[in-house]
Chain A
Amino acid sequence: MKRQGLLLTVLAVALLGGLFAYGLLRGEPDRDIPTALKGKPAPAFELPVHEHYVNQFGETLSLEELEGRPLVVNFWASWCAPCYDEAPVLQAYWERYEDTGVVFVGVQTQDRGKRAEGRAFIDLFGLSFPNVVDDDSAVSVDWGLFGVPETFFVSRDGVVLDKHVGPVTPQVLDAQLAALLR
Chain B
Amino acid sequence: MQLELGVVGSAAAFLAFAVALYGAVAGVLGASRRDPRLVTSARLSAVAGFLVATVAIVVMESALLTDDFSVSYVAQHSRISSPVWVKVVTLWAALEGSILLWAWLLSGYTALVAAVAALSPLRPWAIAVMQGVQTFFFFVLAFLANPFKVLPNPPLDGPGPNELLQNHWMMAVHPVLMYLGFVGLTVPFAYAMAALITRRPGAEWMVLTRRWTLAGWGFLSAAIVAGGWWSYEVLGWGGYWAWDPVENVSLMPWLTATAFVHSVQVQERRHMLKPWNVALILTTFALSVLGTFLTRSGVVSSVHAFGSGPVGPAFLAFFVIVVLVSFGLLAARWEDVKDRAELDSLVSREGAMLGVNVLFLALAFAVLLGTLFPLVVEAISGDRVTVGPPFFDQVTLPIWMLVLLLMGIGPLLPWRKAEEQSLRSNLAWMLAGLVVAGGLAWALGVRKLYPALTVGLAGYNVVSLGLLLAGALVPRMRLAKRPALQVLRSYAHENRRRVGSMVVHFAVVVIAVGVAFSAGYRVDEQVRLDIGGSAEFEGYTLTATELFVDPTAARVSAGVLVEVRSGDRFVTTLRPRINVFPGSNRGIPTPAVLYRPSHDLYLSLNSNVAPGTTFVVLRVVKSPLVTWIWVGGALLALGTAYALGGSTRRVAARVSVPAAAAREA
Q: Does A94 contact B (CB under 8 A)?
A: no
**Chain A residues near B308 (CB-CB < 8 A):** 28
Instruction: Specify which chain A residues have a CB less than 8 angstroms from the CB of B297 in the assembled complex.
Output: 20, 23-24
B324→A10 contact, CB < 8 A: yes
- Give residues 375-390 of B contacting A (CB, 8 Å): 375-376, 378-379
Of A1, A17, A23, A117, the contact of B156 (CB 8 Å cutoff): A117
Q: Does A21 contact B (CB under 8 A)?
A: yes
- Which A residues lie within 8 Å of B299 (CB)? 20, 23-24
Within 8 A of A (CB), among B262-295: 293
A119 to chain B, nearest CB (A): 10
Contact A5 B157 (CB under 8 A): no
Instruction: Please encode chain A, from 9 to 33, with 1 for each CB lying within 8 Å of some chain B CB and 0 for all others.
Output: 1101100110111111010100000
Question: By the criterion CB–CB under 8 Å, are A17 and B72 in contact?
Answer: no
Task: Give chain A nearest CB distance to B60 CB in angstroms.
Answer: 16
B293 touches A20 (CB 8 A): yes
B383 → chain A, closest Cβ, in Å?
A: 14
Question: Which residues of chain B (320-354) have a CB below 8 Å from chain A?
Answer: 320, 323-324, 327-328, 330-332, 334-335, 338
A2 touching B335, Cβ below 8 Å: yes
A23 engages B330 (CB within 8 Å): no
A20 and B245 alpha carbons, distance in the complex (Å):
14
Residue numbers in B under 8 Å from A141 (CB-CB): 585
Nearest residue, chain B, Cβ from A116: B156
A81 within 8 A of B: yes
The interface on chain A, measured as residues whose beta carbon lies within 8 A of the other chain's beta carbons, has a size of 39
A87 to B334, CA, bound (A): 61
- Given A19-B372, A24-B299, A81-B76: A5 touches B585 (CB 8 Å cut-off): no
Q: Are A81 and B585 in contact (CB under 8 A)?
A: no
Cross-chain contact A1 with B334 (CB below 8 angstroms): yes
Q: Determine how close the nearest CB of chain A comes to the CB of B68; give it in whole angstroms.
A: 13
Does the CB pair B316–A24 fall under 8 Å? yes
Residue A6 is within 8 A (CB to CB) of chain B in the complex: yes
Chain B residue at minimum C-beta to C-beta distance from A22: B379
Task: Give B49-64 interface residues, CB cut-off 8 Å to A.
Answer: none
With a cutoff of 8 Å between Cβ atoms, the chain A residues found around residue B338 in the complex are 1
- Residues in chain B near residue A83, CB distance under 8 A: 155
Q: Which residues 139-154 of B sit at the A interface, judged by CB distance below 8 A? A: 151, 153-154
For A79, the chain B residues whose CB sits under 8 A away are 79, 155-159, 583
Residues of chain A from 25 to 44 with CB closer than 8 A to chain B in the complex: 26, 28
With A and B bound together, what is the CA distance between A87 and B75 in angstroms?
16
Shortest A136–chain B CB gap in Å is: 11
Partner of B155, one of A9, A16, A81: A81
User: A129-153 interface mask toward B, CB cutoff 8 Å, 1 = contact, 0 = none?
Assistant: 0000000010011000000000000
Bound-complex Cα distance A17 to B313 (A): 10
Judged by a CB distance under 8 angstroms, whether A84 is at the interface is yes
| Residue B584 at the chain A interface, CB threshold 8 Å | yes
Whether, in the assembled complex, A155 has its beta carbon less than 8 Å from a beta carbon of chain B, the answer is no
* Chain A 93-127 interface mask (CB, 8 Å, partner B; 1/0): 00000000000000000101010010011001100
Is A84 within 8 A of B583, CB to CB? no
Q: Mark B519-550, 1 if CB is under 8 A from A, else 0.
A: 00000000000000000000000000000000
A172 within 8 A of B: no
A78 near B: Cβ within 8 Å? Answer: yes
Q: Mark A71-91, 1 if CB is under 8 A from B, else 0.
A: 000000111110110010000
A-B contacts, 8 listed (Cβ < 8 Å) = A1-B334, A1-B335, A2-B335, A13-B320, A23-B297, A23-B375, A78-B155, A79-B155
For the complex with contacts A20-B299, A110-B583, 14 further pairs of A-B residues with Cβ separation under 8 Å are A2-B332, A5-B332, A5-B334, A13-B324, A16-B323, A20-B316, A22-B375, A24-B312, A24-B313, A28-B298, A79-B79, A79-B158, A80-B159, A117-B156
Which are the 7 A-B pairs with shortest beta-carbon distances?
A5-B331, A79-B157, A23-B299, A81-B75, A9-B327, A6-B331, A84-B153
